[in-house]
Structure 1
Amino acid sequence: MSFFQSMIIVIFLIVGGGYLALAEIALAGARKVKLKILAEAGDERAKKVLDIQEQSADFFAASQIGLNAAAILGGIVGEPAFRELSLRILNHFFEGAWIENAAFGLSFLFVTLAFILFADFMPKRLAMIAPEKIAMSVIKPTLIYIKICKPLAWIINSITNFLFRIFKVNTIREDNITFDDIAAVMEAGAQAGVLLKQEHHFIENVFELEERTVPSSMTTRENVIFFTLNESEESIRQKLAEYPFSKFLVCNENIDQVIGYVDAKDILVRILNNQKINQLNESTIRTVLTIPDTLTLSEVLDRFRASKEKFAVVINEYAWVVGVISLSDVMSTVMGDWVTPMDEEQQIIKRDNSSWLIEGSTPIEDMKHSLDIDEMPDEENYETVAGFMMYKLRKVPRPADFVEFNGFKFEVVDVDHYKIDQLLVTRIMVDIPLLPKETIEEKEN
């Protein structure tokens, strides 16, 4: 066989091996989410790629047959041809018995590098750039190649499956998408500039609705403003002026005897019509939605949607009222400052780069966002920063009590009737230990 014929065969084998390497990485790396979108849009090639991914054993067996055959044949054909060429070149410059071995080494190195570079490394890097696009481009020739290699691929798969069964290896691939997977995609999108910082924050908050419970966003019991059936007109007017809420609970005698709620607009209409506003009756009082405090915010949204209500009373296992929650409260969890009134008192105030003043009622998720903390210990046991302090201290906190966690010091600043009003959170500065005097002198010497 002439050198020219050997070169043609080697080039053909390199091209074939490069195609198989390109197809292998593209088909394995193509993302199912994108392929499903393309398939639903009517692209038959995307559907075929998905089918191969579901039954990938035949393709990978055929691919390995081709890749190994190309590499072995390339060595058989290429090594003698390049060895003869190397020998001729070396004989022009050198003499000695070692030239034969040197020519063999050079030919082996050249053929190996050619296959690594053009039949493996470069095709795989190209496939990783746009795996979905390349996978759909090569799918039709690949299906033909799989049919040609199917008998031999079946034998290889049968042996492989037998060995896997002996060693009890589970070959079923799990493609379940977790929140961590989605979070990683969002993070990558934010870093690439596809998602704005605010958009990234919104999406994260939407997923948190499945984890955060009602107490993290509700108005707590001590802050609920309500009317009683025997409330005087002057008292009602004073509460309307002092607390600009849109809805107020109506109770019999105390907050645990809830009858319903009134809309501030209805009371204002009565005022405009010169009617008495302290005569709360069935025409004014509306039925209030009652929900347990164990619901997640996502479940609360479902309750609001089903009942077509935007306001609910939250009760605990003893049927005591622990707070109220509105649709606006849930949305403020997602949208943050975009739906929160600007004059509302801030729960987290940043004093400088290493200290914050935080209200005890601040939801733990909000604090994690502000301090850039990934995870708090045993989060299922509390909802607020005050709850975190009580859980860690194992007692009712007093001023100056503190907890150190994750490089931060959480110190109680103000307590009102056993309730933590405010904490000072500071970043703990790591002190550099001073060397003993003797050690310093030794280094100087």
Structure 2
Amino acid sequence: MGDLVGIGLLILISALFAMSEIAIAASRKIKLRVMADEGNVQAAAVLKLQEQPGAFFAMIQITLNAIAILGGIVGEQALSPYVQNVLQFFYQGPLLAQISFLLSFLTITSLFILFADLLPKRLAMILPEAVAVRVVTIMRWVTYALTPLVLFFNGLTNIILRIFKVPSEREDIVTTEDIVAMMDAGAEYGSLQQQEYDLIGNVFDLEARFISSVMSPRDQIVYFDINESSHDIANKIIEHPHNHFLVCNDNLDKLIGSVESKDILRQVLKGDAANINSEMLEKDIFYLPETLSLSEALNAFKTAVQPFAVVVNEYALVVGIVTVKDLMKGFMGDLITHSDDELIVERDQNSWLVDGLTPIVELAKVLDIDEFPHQSHYETVAGYLIYTMKRIPKRAEYIQYAGFKFEVVDVEGIRVEQLLVSKIVPTPEPPQS
């Protein structure tokens, strides 16, 4: 009877070590760090053990193999008499002892496989962090108790790894692909809402997208000429109620400064003519190069603390104007802003009217296209057509890509105003007679 109790204890001990091995190896570092930051000392111990796992795994293998060998020796001797007594009721031939031994071996092996291996490892895989923080203290004490053997086998392992030029420790670097995979899994199982999924995905576009994809282009900038009449200034403020206006001398490339519309309105309310004087003119203009990414532009605004920036190209020519709101909308979309002029309008299930200035990454999301060809060479849908055709496209011209037709609907001068994007539906072949 004592041998049977010993077998049960060996199974329980083996289950503990098998469960500890899987739990500590499978525990997610991100979750453990959160637990450690909240004051969980055991979580911090698991993290420390994961950083240098060699001694821990050496201890686990020593104990598991010792228990398996001991269990085989004790188990067969303990069960064989009981199995033989039961088997005598059915068989009393010359092979009774051999059959009893075989049945005892199979029974002990099955018990160890089920209760000392499969069940505890499945439990550890389901709840890795919860199990790891509960067993880490015991594992550290056992490792300390077996220090001589652990150092010996761990040292041999490290020597063999060095001979074959294999790293002795794993480097856990969380890459963008890892985060995207977790996002996809969260969205699939419903733990991440669609809005949250889109927002996090847009954050990764901050380095990939340039400021030119969100700025107001040069031909859409409303500005004042320093010699403009009071009547024209008043009309521009009425028709374009912006907070700030650029002030130029003849054209945009001769900037003098900027003025706030409230300063001019204050003149009008006093009964004076709408004029631009030196007192209201802000000559300190914030410039940004068009080659900046959205992330770099946000950092620049954070440092400068300016409401808007004039975007210039490498020849110091003004190409657009951008605000913090434009940058935020670039990756937060309609979560914080709303625009009356939609860039992408769905006509039906298979076609969309698209503004030429639509960022190509936004259209890719709508059409479920991973990436357009040579996407780093352009920012907008119009830029995609121009880059592909190697010229300014004309009305009714089109290109095809990824099962979609991109047709030019409207061209204003050299600017592609609007496109019709439609899904190419294959024409069914007529039945053969």
2:287 equivalent in structure 1? 290
> 1:144, 1:433 → 2: CA distance?
74
Q: Give CA-to-partner distance per residue, 1:395-435, whole Å, 9 cap, x none.
A: 33233433333333323232222322222222333567789
**Could you tell me which of 166, 169, 180 is aligned with 1:169?**
166
Alignment of 1:360-439 (within 5 A): 360-429=356-425
Matched, 1:42 2:22: no
Between 1:146-155 and 1:185-194, the stretch displaced more is 185-194
**Could you tell me which of 223, 244, 250 is aligned with 1:247?**
244
Between 1:72-81 and 1:118-127, the stretch displaced more is 72-81
Between 1:421-430 and 1:246-255, the stretch displaced more is 421-430
Contact 1:233 1:278 (C-alpha < 8 Å) held by counterparts? yes
Contact 2:231 2:274 (C-alpha < 8 Å) held by counterparts? no
Matched, 1:8 2:5: yes
Cα deviation, residue 269, structure 1? 1.4
TM-score (ref. length: structure 1):
0.90
Contact 2:357 2:380 (C-alpha < 8 Å) held by counterparts? yes
Contact 2:264 2:276 (C-alpha < 8 Å) held by counterparts? no
* Structure-2 change in CA distance of 1:352 and 1:103 (3 Å): farther
Contact 1:83 1:104 (C-alpha < 8 Å) held by counterparts? yes
> 1:27, 1:98 → 2: CA distance?
46
Alignment of 1:69-84 (within 5 A): 69-84=66-81
Alignment of 1:46-445 (within 5 A): 46-94=43-91, 102-342=99-339, 344-429=340-425
Cα deviation, residue 104, structure 1? 4.3
1:441 equivalent in structure 2? none
Contact 1:266 1:284 (C-alpha < 8 Å) held by counterparts? no
Between 1:270-279 and 1:379-388, the stretch displaced more is 270-279
* Structure-2 change in CA distance of 1:68 and 1:235 (3 Å): same
Cα deviation, residue 369, structure 1? 2.2
> 2:209, 2:320 → 1: CA distance?
16
The one-letter code sitting in structure 2 at the alignment partner of 1:9 is G
The gaps in structure 1 that reach 5 residues or longer are: 438-445
Cα deviation, residue 96, structure 1? 5.3
The one-letter code sitting in structure 2 at the alignment partner of 1:59 is F
Cα deviation, residue 83, structure 1? 4.2
The one-letter code sitting in structure 1 at the alignment partner of 2:306 is E
* Structure-2 change in CA distance of 1:71 and 1:347 (3 Å): same
> 2:211, 2:61 → 1: CA distance?
55
> 2:23, 2:302 → 1: CA distance?
44
> 2:132, 2:354 → 1: CA distance?
53
* Structure-2 change in CA distance of 1:32 and 1:95 (3 Å): same
TM-score (ref. length: structure 2):
0.92
Report the count of equivalent residues. 433
> 1:35, 1:22 → 2: CA distance?
18
Cα deviation, residue 58, structure 1? 0.2
Identity within the alignment, %: 43
SS at the partner of 1:208?
A: coil
> 1:365, 1:176 → 2: CA distance?
27
Contact 2:264 2:275 (C-alpha < 8 Å) held by counterparts? no
* Structure-2 change in CA distance of 1:337 and 1:59 (3 Å): same
Contact 2:10 2:71 (C-alpha < 8 Å) held by counterparts? yes
> 1:42, 1:52 → 2: CA distance?
17
